[in-house]
């Protein structure tokens, strides 16, 4: 091999690596001119251009092998030194550009804490939910617990056990929704007695019955379910949905009721009157409200009564009054009575040993009276403007201590 250096290597040795370095620096400077997003792409191109297989540096390194051995070390270390320096410069530039990019990003994303926040829309509680919470708070304070039952019931729980025999005329008032399809046996029998039955009796019980399921027409089946559990004494309220095939300004096919039941050894009509009078005072937040108990009829109570409250109507608005006057009128608010002995017996309780009272009221009716809502149907329309007007703050749960009625939103 020729002992003289190839011209190119000789130039490097003479410091001509400067040329490579110069071009490299120009490229780095061009990167720095780019926008932050493009700079990192441009840097990658420079890296491949300057250090990749086809780079001038690699070309030089490949040529080293062709050098006579006495020159190889000196030239090799010169090229390596050049490469190290270029790599260092490259990394410095990359770090500088990254820092610049993140500073620019931070600047662009800076939060201006002097800006006022965007208005946030908080939903409102529907008056039905609000009134349920209020009723639970009032009766909870009197020692009642809340109970629940299914919306889809059978004839036994909705009617038979409540002393509505088949073909009883009172059933007609209930405009029942029947569910198509057959069902198996009586769920009451299955749940209460199946453990004692032989398997033949059980399979007979399970045979398909022609009785349809029904959508409960009132919350009274929850009384039956609670009594059948046999844990005494009982003090429950049962808020929930009910269904009747009925629709006009004061009726909707789905509505809400709250049922109440007290069973103990010596419960009497006086307890019923004082309990419900206390409820009305607490619910309408008045120290005294004129009430009357008007004889009525329900199959499941005897005697039965309807409770009315005294009020006067001024310019369309109702206000409750204590004293009855020529201007005042009676408004029906709930049904009640002493639990009928037939109901107690149907629920495996002995009417000679225990008795009690029950009551039931429509939640929407309570809400309309208390909050001045004119048309029952508007409560089910899901109109946001209506809800903003009649709804309640979800952050204020009704409580007797703080007051039942939170700020209307």
CB-nearer residue toward ligand DAH: 24 or 164? 164
CB-nearer residue toward ligand DAH: 24 or 283? 283
Least distance to ligand DAH, CB of residue 312, Å: 26
Least distance to ligand DAH, CB of residue 335, Å: 3
Tokens coding 283: 């619910």
CB-nearer residue toward ligand DAH: 17 or 335? 335
CB-nearer residue toward ligand DAH: 36 or 341? 341
First to last CA, the chain: 97
CB-nearer residue toward ligand DAH: 134 or 259? 259
Least distance to ligand DAH, CB of residue 360, Å: 2
Question: Other C-beta atoms within 10 Å of 310: how many?
Answer: 18
Which residues, in sequence order, are CB contacts of 36 under 8 Å at separation 6+?
97, 100, 101, 104, 105
φ/ψ of residue 113, rounded to 5:
-75, -5
Least distance to ligand DAH, CB of residue 153, Å: 13
Least distance to ligand DAH, CB of residue 384, Å: 31
Which one, of 251, 237, 249, 306, lies nearest residue 273 by Cα? 306
Inter-CA distances, 144 with 65, 137, 139, 396, Å:
98, 9, 5, 22
CB-nearer residue toward ligand DAH: 218 or 365? 218
User: What is the 3-state secondary structure of 230-256?
Assistant: CCCCEEEEEEEEEECCCCECCECCEEE
Which one, of 232, 153, 188, 174, lies nearest residue 346 by Cα? 188
Prior bond of 376 cis (ω within 30°):
no
Least distance to ligand DAH, CB of residue 177, Å: 14
Please state at what angle helix 17-33 crosses helix 36-51, rounded to 10 degrees: 160
Least distance to ligand DAH, CB of residue 259, Å: 5
Tokens coding 145: 């617990």
Asked if 3 and 61 touch (Cβ cutoff 8 Å), the reply is no
Pairing of strands 145-146, 234-243: parallel
CB-nearer residue toward ligand DAH: 133 or 259? 259
Asked if 179 and 158 touch (Cβ cutoff 8 Å), the reply is no
CB-nearer residue toward ligand DAH: 176 or 328? 176
- Classify 382 as helix, strand or coil: coil
Instruction: Show the DSSP H helices in 244-292 as ranges.
Output: 269-284
Instruction: Show the DSSP H helices in 65-144 as ranges.
Output: 69-109, 127-141
CB-nearer residue toward ligand DAH: 50 or 267? 267
Binding site for ligand DAH (CB under 6 A): 218, 220, 259, 298, 301, 335-337, 358-360
Q: Taking CB positions, which residue lies at the least distance from ligand DAH?
A: 360
Tokens coding 353: 């040993």
Least distance to ligand DAH, CB of residue 374, Å: 22
Residue with tokens 């032989």: 198
CB-nearer residue toward ligand DAH: 55 or 301? 301
Q: How many Cα atoms sit within 13 Å of 347 on the Cβ side? A: 32
Least distance to ligand DAH, CB of residue 344, Å: 13
Least distance to ligand DAH, CB of residue 174, Å: 7
């Amino acid at each position: 091999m020729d002992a003289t250096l190839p011209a190119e290597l000789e130039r490097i040795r003479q410091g001509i690596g400067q040329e490579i370095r110069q071009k490299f620096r120009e490229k780095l400077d061009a990167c720095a001119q780019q926008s932050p997003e493009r700079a990192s792409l441009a840097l990658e191109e420079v890296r491949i251009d300057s250090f990749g297989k086809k780079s001038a540096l690699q070309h030089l390194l490949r040529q080293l092998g062709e050098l006579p051995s006495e020159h190889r070390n000196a030239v090799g270390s010169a090229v390596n030194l050049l490469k190290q320096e270029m790599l260092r410069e490259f990394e410095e530039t990359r770090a500088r550009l990254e820092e610049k990019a993140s500073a620019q990003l931070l600047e662009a994303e800076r939060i201006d804490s002097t800006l006022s926040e965007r208005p946030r829309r908080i939903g409102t509680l529907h008056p039905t939910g609000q009134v349920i919470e209020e009723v639970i708070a009032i009766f909870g304070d009197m020692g009642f617990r809340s109970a629940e039952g299914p919306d889809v019931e059978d004839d036994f729980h909705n009617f038979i056990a409540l002393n509505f025999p088949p073909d009883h005329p009172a059933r007609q008032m209930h405009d029942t929704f029947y569910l198509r399809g057959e069902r198996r046996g009586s769920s009451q029998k299955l749940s209460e007695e199946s453990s004692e039955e032989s398997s033949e009796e059980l399979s007979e019980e399970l045979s398909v019955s022609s009785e349809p399921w029904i959508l409960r027409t009132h919350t009274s089946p929850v009384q039956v379910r609670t009594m059948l559990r046999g844990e005494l004494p009982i003090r429950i309220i049962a808020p929930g949905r009910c269904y009747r095939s009925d629709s006009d300004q004061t009726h909707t096919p789905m509505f809400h009721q709250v049922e109440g039941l007290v069973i103990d050894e010596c419960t009497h009509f006086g307890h019923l009157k004082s309990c419900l009078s206390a409820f009305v005072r607490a619910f309408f937040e008045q120290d005294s409200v004129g009430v009357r108990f008007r004889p009525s009829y329900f199959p499941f109570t005897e005697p039965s009564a309807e409770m009315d409250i005294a009020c006067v109507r001024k310019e369309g608005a109702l206000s409750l009054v204590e004293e009855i006057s020529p201007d005042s009128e009676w408004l029906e608010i709930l049904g009640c009575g002493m639990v009928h002995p037939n109901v107690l017996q149907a629920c495996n309780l002995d009417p000679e040993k225990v008795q009690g009272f029950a009551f039931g009221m429509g939640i929407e009716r309570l809400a309309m009276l208390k909050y001045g809502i004119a048309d029952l149907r508007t409560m089910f329309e899901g109109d946001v403007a209506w809800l903003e007007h009649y709804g309640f703050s979800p952050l204020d749960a009704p409580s007797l201590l703080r007051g039942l009625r939170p700020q209307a939103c």
